[in-house]
Structure 1
Amino acid sequence: MKRHTVPWRKLAVLIPAALLGAAGGYFFMWALDPYGMTVLLPSLACLVLSFWLQAILHEGGHLVCGLLSGYRFLSFRVGSFTLLRQNGRLVLRRFYLPGTGGQCLLEPPDGDEVPFRLYNLGGGLANLLSALAAALTAFLLPFPWPVFLLIFAAAGLFLGAVNLIPLSMDGVANDGFNLHLLSRSPQARRTFALQLRCHALLQRGIPLRDQPARWFQLPQDLEPQDPFTAAALSFLPSRLMDQGDLSGAEAAFRTLLDVPSGLLDIQRWDLTVDLLSCSLLLGRSQEELAPLRTPALLHYCKATRKFTPSTSRMEFLWALLAQRDPEAALLSWRQFQHCAPRWPYPATLDTDRRLMELGLQRAQGQGFPLPPL
């Protein structure tokens, strides 16, 4: 029988957060009762705004602390809006990662051992320091400003705690979890730096196939014991796919996905999307591939297809080669064309287009109608 374990770390955050929320809600309703809806509605609006401002401050904390540690700016995302540097100038793109409210990516300084503590702590520290400043200022101002400042402080305290207490929730690791892994594992620190360097070159338009070969000569017995090593290992089959070796890529994707530890859910779904693309182009049947299309994967695809070209690419190939549905393939093609100009990593788009064109050739060879592309 399957053994269930108690998620103590999640409970350590969720239970205090629920109690804090209940106590805060009671306090605010009691304090605002004499003033009625005139203060209640602005307070609710302030609560929503506070979380957005704290999310910006969180990513800003990573940015400032990373720059102080010698990192170089790559991208700054809040929600799906991403500010990044391309061709020497700042541009705005759209990108969404399920389970995250934002992300700040920086290119590490040269060297095998890179600083990581301040970079990972920066976001949570920014939340906690801004919460402390808001709480102290609240006692110096007349009503109703203390109410709004305390709401802002509560949002900062919550986000700071949720990000600094080591947790992996909804398939995504938080800053505290990452810091814990990096502190105890030299392997994780090396692959952490490698992952960021690969992203930096992708953002500059250099595909995986043209990146330094030594980055991909990892030990054969290296296992994805942590999300950073898993991310670095995932570049290996992605590079094979980029080079046109679909059989090698398919085998490498399956090997990586068969490892029970190390991969976060979101990494597993992303790898499965690429595995499905390779397998479909190699002629695998719908029945063979159906077990890969789990409800969790379909939910991931639904959440990312508007922002991630590889998701639309896989759905295009699935509609064309597995379902043999030209109309559905056309919809996925249009979705790809819609999200591609906003994608922050243009170096990957060439591979996506080549795979889709190969899918069209395969479909034409099977002799059924093609979508008017």
Structure 2
Amino acid sequence: MNIIIGMVLLGLYPISKNTLYLPLFLQTAGIIGIAAGLMNGIPMRLGNINNDGYNTLEIGRNSEAMRAFWLQLKLNGLAAQGIRIKDMPEEWFEIPDDEKMKNSILAVIGVLVENRLMDLHKFEEAEHLINELLEKDTAIVEVHRRLLICDLIYCRLVRGNVYGQAGDLIDRRQKKFMTAMRNFLSVIRTEYALALLERKDEKEARSIREKFEKSARSFPYPSEVESERELIDIADKRNLYGNLPGARDDNRGAVRSEDSMK
């Protein structure tokens, strides 16, 4: 698609020479579009991360990658129909072994397993899994890693900071990510829990809750809205009644912030 758009823009270049800035824009945008299309279309692997061309090649020759790709499409389709991930068949959610988690297509399955644990409110299991996924050498893409950290922050807060203070996970990179993704529901939910349970600022929490409801009105997946709203309600209960059941039943270590490991 980038290549096609780039060619169209370059095709318009000769008939736009009577204007001042349009020819330069069309030429530059056309070249960039074609270059981006070639870079994404030619199979390349940078570390553990594949571009679209490599993913297409991998899906064609790897039955497990094909299944993982099918599963992602299936889950998106069911979510669009209002079905929550917790209500989908459990057998779909099996974490690939360590070697397979180095494949970026298969690594998404590990993230989906964690998402399902969150929707099931199995916060202890989710926290353990997040720590494991972040500590291991996997092909989980950066945006998913950052969203996992958001879930880890939330789990720590509602479980009474079992593994250390939730705020310790917010290094510069995580803060920058959460600012950039400030309208994403799971990020808003995490910010709500931080305001309510860490900073004890109910006024700020109310403002964040209003922001959540505003974003929820235009969010395309009602099932995810329902799930995230439940997590906000759980944070409210944690604030009112103290520790949730099973909040202090484990002393296993946690992933530190990336800045603290430098």
Instruction: Check whether TM > 0.5.
Output: yes
2:196 corresponds, among 297, 303, 320, to 320
For 1:336, the equivalent position in structure 2 comes to 212
Aligned with 1:191 (options 61, 68, 78): 68
- What does 1:134-153 align with in structure 2 at a 5 Å threshold? 135=10, 141=15, 143-144=17-18, 147=23, 150-151=27-28, 153=30
Identity rate, percent: 26
Task: After superposition, give the CA deviation of every residue in 1:278-300 in whole Å (9 maximum; x if it has no partner).
Answer: 22111116953333212111111
Residue 201 of structure 1 is aligned with which of 48, 69, 78?
78
What pairs up with 1:1-373 in 2 under 5 angstroms?
123=1, 127-132=2-7, 135=10, 141=15, 143-144=17-18, 147=23, 150-151=27-28, 153-165=30-42, 166=44, 174-182=51-59, 185-218=62-95, 223-284=100-161, 287-306=164-183, 308-366=184-242
SS of residue paired to 2:109: helix
Q: Secondary structure at the match of 2:167?
A: helix
* Rounded Cα–Cα distance in structure 1 between residues aligned with 2:80 and 2:46: 27
Cα distance, 1:213 vs structure 2: 2.3
Q: In structure 2, the residue corresponding to 1:224 is in which secondary structure?
A: helix
What's 1:100 paired with?
none
Structure-1 separation of matches of 2:213 and 2:12:
49
Output the amino acid matched with 1:187: E
Letter in 2 for 1:156: G
Question: Quick one: which amino acid aligns to residue 314 of structure 1?
Answer: T
Structure 1 residues 280 and 142: alpha-carbon distance in aligned structure 2, compared to 1, 3 A threshold = closer
Q: Which has the larger radius of gyration?
A: 1
Which residues of structure 2 form unaligned runs of 5+? 243-262
* TM norm structure 1: 0.56
Structure 1, unmatched stretches of 5+, are 1-122, 367-373
Q: Matched residue of 1:255: which SS?
A: helix
Q: Could you report, residue by residue, the CA deviation over 1:74-122 in whole angstroms, capped at 9, with x for unpaired residues?
A: xxxxxxxxxxxxxxxxxxxxxxxxxxxxxxxxxxxxxxxxxxxxxxxxx
Q: Which has the higher strand share?
A: 1
Q: Deviation string for 1:135-167 (max 9, x for gaps)?
A: 46756x584389365455324323323433436
User: How far is 1:214 from its partner?
Assistant: 2.3
Question: Residue 38 of structure 2 aligns to which amino acid in structure 1?
Answer: A
Residues 286 and 323 in structure 1, CA contact (< 8 A), matched pair in contact too? no
Asked if 1 retains the 8 angstrom alpha-carbon contact of 2:104 and 2:139, the reply is yes
- Partner Cα distance (1:179, 1:245) in 2: 34
Report which structure shows greater RCO (CA 8 Å, sep ≥6): 2
Contact 2:157 2:198 in 1 (8 A): yes
In the TM superposition, structure 1's runs of 4+ consecutive aligned residues that sit over 6 Å from their partners are: none
Number of positions where the alignment pairs a residue of Structure 1 with one of Structure 2: 238
Shift of 1:257: 1.7
